[in-house]
Amino acid sequence: MIAKLKGRLDSTGIDHAIIDVGGVGYLVGASSRTLAALGPVGEAVTVHTEMLVSEDSIRLVGFARGEERDWFRLLIGVQGVGSRVALAILSALEPLELHRAVAAGDKAMVARANGVGPKLALRIVNELKDKIGVAPTAAGPLGSGGVSISAGGYGADALSALQNLGFRPAEASAAVAAAEEELGEEATLDALVRLALRKAAK
């Protein structure tokens, strides 16, 4: 699984970018917010990625920040929300705005995204409300309640790993943040996940 790409921005399109990593060009789908955050063509970039595998294709979707990828994973887990709709929502709303909208049950805010009608917006709000915790007061990871996970390193990947193991977002976020603080920014993903698991299990 490709979790992150670090290379040079080769080109961008309406809904994608091509990242040159050691002479190999990776086509990465992206929201308009991520594309705007990448900077000018030719510059060095780092994007968090999600690999989507189906019977007839393998696609990469890229994100400027780990929390945007976390929201993408949550959104595509809702019935009726595919990758295009999820990116449209992330193009219309910042992660913090989306978190607040879902926590408040504000389906009208979610429906601002292209391709999201009132019924789908209501389903998104209803299905995700219990998964995200309280709305944060500042930009932060899902359900953190203000706990900050480093945008660099493997914080977002460790958070996803714990959530996939069944931990609630708030529990996973607090455990990963504590593990990051103890291990430092140079920690490997394996070490970060192992320590976070021990802290979450206490």
- pLDDT per residue over 45-78, tens digit each? 999 999 888 888 889 999 988 888 989 989 998 9
pLDDT given at position 153: 54
pLDDT given at position 97: 87
pLDDT given at position 89: 94
pLDDT given at position 105: 87
SS3 letters across the chain? CCCEEEEEEEEECCCEEEEEECCEEEEEECCHHHHHHCCCCCCEEEEEEEEEECCCCEEEEEECCHHHHHHHHHHCCCCCCCHHHHHHHHHHCCHHHHHHHHHHCCHHHHCCCCCCCHHHHHHHHHHHHHHHCCCCCCCCCCCCCCCCCCCCCCHHHHHHHHHHCCCCHHHHHHHHHHHHHHHCCCCCHHHHHHHHHHHHHC
**Which residues of the chain fall below pLDDT 50?**
134-152
pLDDT given at position 5: 93
